[in-house]
Structure 1
C-alpha cells in the first residue's frame, strides 16, 4: 500500500503527485482476504457476498488514495464499515482493516494515528467478543494494523523529507536566478556604459558644430554616432540572444521575481513544459510582454501564472486582480498574437473583476 500524496499541509498537496500507476499493485494484499473463503470451505452464497463486497471496498481504497487529508476520514470510515459488515461471513476482513490502518498512519500525525489505531484494535476486541471469534483474530489483527499503520507513518515522513529536499533545490534555483540577474545587469552595464557615454559626447559635439556652421565636421560626428549606435545594438542583440535560450523555466522564475519586486504576491501553478527552442523563445517574449504590462500599467497586488496541458494544447494563463473596464490593444498584444500565430497559437483575454490573459499553443509546439 503506497501513496504519493502526503497531506500534512496545503503546499505538500500541491507539490506531490498521485502515483496512480502503483495504486493497483498494493491491492495484491487482498489475497489474504480471499484465503478463508476457500480454506474453510464456505458456502457459495458467502463466497459470492465476499467477492461482491470487494467492489465498494476497492472504490473506497482509491477514494482514500486521492483524498486530501481533511477528507480522508470519509473513505477510511467507509473501509472500516465494510470490514465490520463482512466479518461475520469472512474473517479475512482483517486484510481490509489493515488498509484502513495504513491510511490512518499516512494521513494523520503520530499522536492522532496512535489513538485511532488503538480505537481500531478496541473495535476488533469488541467484534471478537460479540461474534465469538477466536482470540487469534484480535491478536493477529491488532499486530497487522499496528505494523501497517507504522508503515503509513514512515511513508508520510519519507515524502515529507522528499518535499524538504525539493524546497532546498528551489532555494538553490532562486539563488542561481538572482546571480544570473546580477550578471545580466553587469553585462548590460559593461556593454552600454561606454557606448552611451560616447553617444552623448558625440551628439553634444555635433550640436555645437552645427551651431558654429561647421556642417561637414558635424556630419562626420553624426556618422560616427550612427556607427556606435549600430554596434551597440548588435552587441545587445547578441547578448539577449544568449539570454533567450536559458530556458522557459528560468525565465518564468525571473518574471515571478520581477513581479514580487514590485510588491505583488505571485503564485505559479502547473508544470512548465520543455519546448523546442524556437517556440520557447517566442513564448518567453510573450510572457515577458504581459508581465511588463502588469508592472507598468496595472494596479494589481496579486498575480497568478498557471500552466496547463491537455492532449491537444498547452495553455498559459496570466491573471492579476486589477479591474479593467476596457482594453486598447497596442503593439505589445499585437506582437504576442503574431508570435503565437506562427505556431498556430492564440491569445485571449477576459476583463471582469480580474484580468485574464490566456496563451494557447497546440501540442506540436512541444519539443
Structure 2
C-alpha cells in the first residue's frame, strides 16, 4: 500500500512536524553545552528527510526510512532525551504500513530497546515507560489512519464503478432512443426514394415530385427530432452540473463549499450559465494551486450573482478565449463578468433576473 497524497495532505505533513517541539524542549530547559545543542539540531536534517521518505513510500520500502528514523533516535538519545518524539514518528509509520499483529510486535521490540537504553545510558526508567506509551498510542493512530485511507479508496472505487455503470446505461439509452427515432424515419426515406426513382423511370414526374416532397418532409421532421433529443442529452440542469463540478474539484484534492440557493432558470439562460461555470471550474483545475473552492449563489431584486472563488495565490489575469467566451454569453443575457485576483481569485457572473426564469 502506498500513501497517496493530495495537496491538502502534503500541507498536513509539514504541520505534523510541529510535534518535534517535544524534541526541542529538553535542549533549552536543561543546561547543555552548545556542541550538544548543535549536534541535536543537526540530527533533525536527516530525520526530516527520512520522515518525508516514509510519507511517500510503499509498504515494501517503508522499513528503510522507519529504520533510519529509529537509528537517528538511538544516536541522539545520549545527547537529548527528547528523542522520544522521533521514535513516535517511527511508531506512526509502523502502525500505518503494517498489520496490527506485526505492528504490536514492533512496538514491543521498541519498548525493549528503550528499556535497554535506559539501563545502559543510566536514564530514568520513566524514559522507557513513557516512551512505550507514546509509541503505542501514536502507532495505533497510524493504524486508524490506514483504515481511513482504505475506506476512502474503497468508496472512490465504488463511485468509479457507479459512474462507469451510469455511463454504460446512458450509452444504451442513447442508442435505443436514436434507433427508435431514426429507424422508422430512415426506412420511410429509403422507401420514398426508391418509389420516386421508379416513378421517374416510368415518366410519372408529378407523382415522383410528390414522393420527393414527402421525403423532404420526413427528413426535416427526423432532423428536428434528433436535435430535440441531443438537446435533452446536453441539458442536464444547473443542479446536476454544479454537483458534477463539485465532485470533479474534490477528485482533484480540493475542498468545496456551496453557499446560497441555486436558482431555477429558463433553459436558454441555464445553458449559458452552465457553460460559463464549467469554463471557470476547468480553469481552476488546470491553473490554480488552490486547496479550497467556494461556489456562491445570491440574488437581489434585479440580478443574479454566481461567484467562483478559491484560495490560490493571486496573480495577474490575462484574458484568453475562455473568459472572452464567458463575456459574450453573458452579454447575450444582458449580464457581465467581474473578477479580481487579490488576495485570492474570484470570478462573478452577473445577469438580470428578468428574462432568466
Instruction: Name the TM-score, length of structure 1 as normaliser.
Output: 0.62
* Equivalent position of 1:70 in the other structure: 60
2:97 pairs, out of 107, 113, 116, with 107
Question: Distance in 2 between the 1:199 and 1:74 partners?
Answer: 73
Q: CA deviation at 1:147?
A: 0.8
Structure 1 residue runs of 4 or more that deviate by more than 6 Å after TM superposition: 278-281
Aligned residue for 1:173? 163
Q: Which residues of 2 match residues 50-199 of structure 1 at below 5 A? A: 50-199=40-189
Change in CA separation of 1:246 and 1:142 when aligned onto 2, cut-off 3 Å: same
The verdict on how the C-alpha distance between 1:101 and 1:272 changes in structure 2, with shifts beyond 3 A counting, is closer
Alignment check: 8 A CA contact 2:197 2:208 kept: yes
Greater Cα shift, 192-201 or 88-97? 192-201
1:36 offset after TM fit, Å? 1.5
Distance 1:240 1:278, change over 3 A: farther
After superposition, give the CA deviation of every residue in 1:95-117 in whole Å (9 maximum; x if it has no partner).
10000000111111222222222
Alignment check: 8 A CA contact 2:6 2:253 kept: no
Q: Distance in 2 between matches of 1:62 and 1:40?
A: 30
Give me the whole-angstrom Cα distance separating, in 2, the residues matched to 1:278 and 1:34. 52
Q: Is the 8 A contact 1:245 1:277 kept in 2?
A: no
Where in structure 2 are there 5+ consecutive unaligned residues?
241-250, 255-273, 280-284, 289-320, 323-348, 350-357
Contact 1:33 1:96 in 2 (8 A): yes
In the alignment, the residues of structure 2 paired with residue 280 and residue 32 of structure 1 have an alpha-carbon distance, to the nearest angstrom, of 47
Whole-angstrom CA distance in 1 between matches of 2:228 and 2:253: 26
Partner of 1:239: 229
Q: CA deviation at 1:76?
A: 1.0
Residue 146 of structure 1: CA displacement?
Answer: 0.8
Q: Indicate the RMSD between aligned Cα atoms, in angstroms.
A: 3.4
TM normalised by structure 2 equals 0.64
Separation of aligned partners in 2, 1:227 and 1:144: 82
